[in-house]
């Protein structure tokens, strides 16, 4: 019977219970869950008398970012960039520090030096040293109305003005600083001009001369540049009739001087001073009356240029080369005893001046006048000017125009 029961059991399909494993927990999980339950049971919120609202978890929002998030992000970005730049700079410095630094030699700049100048022995103006090594050259220039306007008077350093004959004045112009290409018209020499010329040790350009002057030229040792002896160094212009048309250039005369061995002049110059225009000038208008109206001279002081604008025969005297009014810096009225000598070929009496010795000199500069004296010890000695107490009279630098007068009555100024 027992066997039948076993057989029936084996024949009958035994239904096994279905086991749910979705809630299966390991012993460790069960222990952890129990501990959590104990904590919750001890918490006040588990008190059934206290109502607690279930906590709802909200999903965080990341986009779009808030202003605060943008600000924080920006500050972080700036900080990161700054750190990157510092790191790059340190890396670059470290990298370059390993290489030797080669200092490039800068080219040495030579200082720009101002051209060296010295005072001109003839005018006192600043010139290159080579200018003073030139010979001073004297040229006899006509002053009749046929000769006006003359060429080269504006560029002369010193000019002497004196009577020849018939009440006509003539000029002797001295050159060294400026070398005009056209000078004239050139006329004949006179003895008194020879004496003033010798004081400058200047070769003299002229066209003949009075009998006494031609005799004295070799006797006194004047450096002679007579047109009659050296015509190739002069030229005649076609716009004027003879004898008012003989001209020359300083370059031609200097070539002749070099040929004759006259390459310098033994002359030390007058003492000079800076310009000092007077606050209250007392000699702004000057009148020299050596002859009649055609040859009388006047000067008007120009305070702006500290010079004297020259007029002759009642009209401004204009330089043919410059087309401007002649305006020397220093004007001197030199009182020299004068007399009439023998007749010349034009039935006019030659002038005779006592050039050796001393006499009064009216020196006009800076709008004022100083009355001193001129001195000349011999024909070869230089002409000098001194004050009343025999001190050297200093002149302004620039052109000096000397008019020789027979009497102080031929001078007036105001």
Determine, yes or no, domain membership for 93: no
DSSP for 21-65 reads -TT---HHHHHHHHHHHHHHHHSGGG-TTS--PPPPPPPP--SSP
Q: Which bin fits 346, alpha (ψ -120 to 50), beta or left (φ > 0)? A: alpha
> Can you tell me the distance from the alpha carbon of 183 to that of 324, in angstroms, rounded to the nearest whole number?
16
The conformation of residue 82, written as its DSSP 8-state character, comes to H
**Do 194 and 242 sit in the same domain of this protein?**
yes
* Other C-beta atoms lying within 10 Å of the C-beta of residue 369: 17
Round to whole Å and give the CA distance between 378 and 221.
13
- What integer pLDDT is reported at residue 103 of this predicted model? 57
Torsion sign across C-alpha atoms 213, 214, 219, 220: positive
Give the pLDDT confidence of 168-209 residue by residue, as tens digits. 999 999 999 999 999 999 999 999 999 999 999 999 999 999
Residues 207 and 284 in one domain: no
Alpha helices in 179-325 (DSSP H): 191-198, 211-220, 250-260
Domain boundary among 260, 291, 311: 260
Per residue in 49-62, pLDDT (tens digit) is 444 444 444 445 55
- Domain boundary (260, 295, 327) is at 260
Q: How many C-beta atoms lie closer than 10 Å to residue 370's C-beta?
A: 18
pLDDT bracket for residue 320 (50, 70, 90): very high
Name the phi and psi angles at 403, rounded to 5.
-105, 125
Tell me, what's the pLDDT at 115?
A: 74
| 3-class SS of residue 339 | strand
- For CA atoms 315, 125, 304, 367, the dihedral sign is negative
Is the separation of the CB atoms in 145 and 294 below 8 Å?
yes
Question: How many domains does the structure of the chain reveal?
Answer: 2
Query: How would you class 396 by CB atoms within 10 Å of its CB: exposed for 0-12, middle for 13-18, buried for 19 or more?
Result: buried
Q: Are residues 169 and 235 in the same domain?
A: yes
Residues 394 and 332 reside in one and the same domain: yes
Q: Taking 70 as the threshold, does the pLDDT of residue 4 lie above it?
A: no
Task: For residue 136, give its domain range.
Answer: 118-260
Lowest mean pLDDT among 259-263, 273-277, 342-346: 342-346
Reading the block at residue 229, the tokens are 């002896």
What is the arrangement of strands in the sheet containing 169-175, beginning at the earlier edge strand? 224-226, 204-206, 137-141, 169-175, 158-163, 400-405, 330-335, 357-365, 368-376, 384-386
pLDDT of residue 134 exceeding 90, the answer is yes
What pTM, to 2 d.p., does this model score?
0.73
| CATH number for the domain that contains residue 299 | 3.50.90.10
Task: Please tell me whether residues 125 and 242 are part of one structural domain.
Answer: yes
Choose the final residue of a domain: 260, 295, 316.
Answer: 260
Grouping H, G, I as helix, E, B as strand and the rest as coil, residue 162 is strand
Residues 172 and 209 in one domain: yes
Q: How far apart are CA 250 and CA 137, in angstroms?
A: 8
State how far the alpha carbon of 268 is from the alpha carbons of 119, 123, 338, 340, in Å. 11, 11, 28, 33
């Amino acid at each position: 019977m027992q066997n039948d029961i076993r057989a029936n059991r084996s024949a009958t399909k035994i239904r096994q219970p279905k086991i749910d494993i979705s809630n299966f927990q390991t012993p460790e999980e069960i222990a952890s869950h129990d501990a959590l339950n104990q904590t919750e049971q001890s918490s006040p919120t588990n008190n059934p008398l206290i109502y607690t609202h279930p906590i709802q978890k909200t999903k965080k929002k990341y986009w779009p970012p808030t202003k605060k998030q943008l600000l924080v992000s920006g500050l972080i970005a700036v900080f990161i960039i700054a750190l990157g730049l510092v790191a790059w700079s340190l890396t670059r410095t470290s990298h370059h520090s390993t290489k030797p630094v080669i200092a490039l030699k800068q080219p040495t700049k030579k200082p720009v030096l101002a051209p060296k100048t010295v005072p001109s022995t003839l005018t006192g103006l600043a010139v290159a040293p080579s200018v003073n090594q030139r010979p001073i050259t004297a040229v006899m220039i006509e002053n009749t109305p046929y000769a006006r306007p003359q060429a080269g008077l504006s560029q002369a350093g010193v000019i002497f003005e004196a009577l020849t004959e018939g009440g006509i004045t003539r000029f002797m112009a001295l050159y060294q600083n400026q070398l005009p290409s056209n000078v004239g018209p050139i006329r004949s020499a006179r003895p008194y001009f020879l004496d003033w010329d010798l004081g400058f040790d200047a070769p003299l350009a002229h066209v003949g001369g009075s009998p006494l002057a031609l005799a004295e030229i070799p006797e006194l040792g004047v450096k002679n540049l007579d047109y009659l002896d050296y015509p190739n160094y002069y030229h005649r212009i076609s716009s004027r009739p003879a004898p008012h048309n003989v001209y020359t250039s300083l370059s031609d005369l200097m070539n002749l001087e070099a040929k004759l061995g006259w390459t310098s002049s033994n002359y030390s110059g007058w003492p000079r001073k800076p310009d000092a225009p007077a606050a209250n000038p007392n000699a702004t208008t000057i009148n020299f009356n050596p002859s009649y109206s055609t040859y009388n001279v006047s000067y008007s002081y120009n305070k702006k240029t500290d010079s004297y604008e020259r007029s002759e025969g009642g009209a401004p005297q204009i330089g043919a080369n410059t087309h401007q009014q002649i305006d020397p810096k220093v004007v001197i009225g030199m009182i020299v005893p004068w007399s009439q000598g023998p007749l010349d070929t034009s039935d006019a009496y030659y002038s005779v001046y006592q050039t050796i010795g001393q006499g009064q000199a009216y020196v006009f500069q800076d709008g004022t006048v100083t009355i001193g004296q001129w001195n000349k010890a011999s024909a070869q000695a230089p002409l000098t000017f001194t004050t009343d107490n025999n001190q050297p009279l200093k002149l302004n630098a620039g052109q000096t125009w000397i008019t020789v007068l027979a009497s102080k009555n031929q001078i007036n100024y105001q």
